[in-house]
Structure 1
Amino acid sequence: MEVWRDSMELVEMIYKISDTFPDSERFGLTSQIRRAAISIPSNIAEGAARRSTPEYLRFLSIARGSLSEIATQTQIANRLGYSSASPRLDEYIDLIFAKLTALMNVLNKRGDA
């Protein structure tokens, strides 16, 4: 699934970016942003393995929420000077958000949600 593949690439990007955060953030922002990143492909996969469309939609919604967390956390990292703004990352976050939303819309239109 394309959105899952994209979210796996996002995990790699987040790990590389957060690797530059100060050691003092190891249990703070670094941990939080990495957990949010890992949550996205994990929830997509778990939802896809469920037996019903409503369950799948619930997990996709959780994945989209985690993506929003990452958008906020990257802005926090930028404001604190832990990283610099990355248009590529921002575009990738927007792309994944759009793909998740499109998938959710398709599933909702099936009528069994």
Structure 2
Amino acid sequence: MKEITDFKDLRIWQKGMDIAKECYFLTKKFPQDELYGMVQQIRRSASSIPANIAEGYGRRTTGEYRRFLSIAQGSVNELQTHLLLAKAVGLCDSSDIELLINELEYENRMIITLIKKLS
């Protein structure tokens, strides 16, 4: 197992980056009139997941790290909501978001586990 010397070594951050990239690819298929609506919301919440994991990792205290992990967890829930709404209003199909939803559930479990380990 590789030693963790940087936030980029964290599997939880790497998974968050993968999710964010997939969301960018997905939203490229959305209609142009959603650019400042659903596209922006999905991309913002998706990028917030690894960003908060990275920011928390760089903080001085364990309590601050846990706080940023909790924010990342909120972004996971927000992103799931946006994806489900996008499906509900016909911007994408179930098949478009099924893998992403599964990855988000896995990311959420990893965040919960890390928060518990830091407590």
TM-score normalised according to structure 2 size: 0.88
- Deviating above 4 A after TM superposition, structure 1's stretches of 4 or more consecutive aligned residues are none
In the TM superposition, what whole-angstrom CA distance separates every residue of 1:68-109 from its partner, at most 9, and x where no partner exists?
01100000100111111132111101000000000001001x
C-alpha deviation, 1:7, in angstroms = 0.4
The AA in structure 1 aligned to 2:107 is: I
In the TM superposition, what whole-angstrom CA distance separates every residue of 1:41-86 from its partner, at most 9, and x where no partner exists?
0100000000101100110000010110110000010011111113
CA distance in 1, matches of 2:44, 2:102: 20
* 2:56 is the counterpart of 1:47: yes
Task: From 22, 31, 36, give the equivalent of 2:40.
Answer: 31
In the TM superposition, what whole-angstrom CA distance separates every residue of 1:5-56 from its partner, at most 9, and x where no partner exists?
0000001110011111111110011001101011110100000000101100
* 2:117 is the counterpart of 1:93: no
How many equivalent pairs are there? 108
TM-score normalised according to structure 1 size: 0.93
Structure 2, unpaired ranges of 5+: 1-9
The AA in structure 2 aligned to 1:83 is: C
- Single out whichever of 84-93 and 41-50 deviates more from structure 2: 84-93
Task: From 67, 72, 75, give the equivalent of 2:76.
Answer: 67
The AA in structure 2 aligned to 1:43 is: N
CA distance in 1, matches of 2:45, 2:99: 19
CA distance in 2, matches of 1:42, 1:52: 17
The AA in structure 1 aligned to 2:77 is: S
Matched residue, 1:111: none
The share of aligned pairs that are identical, in percent, is 37
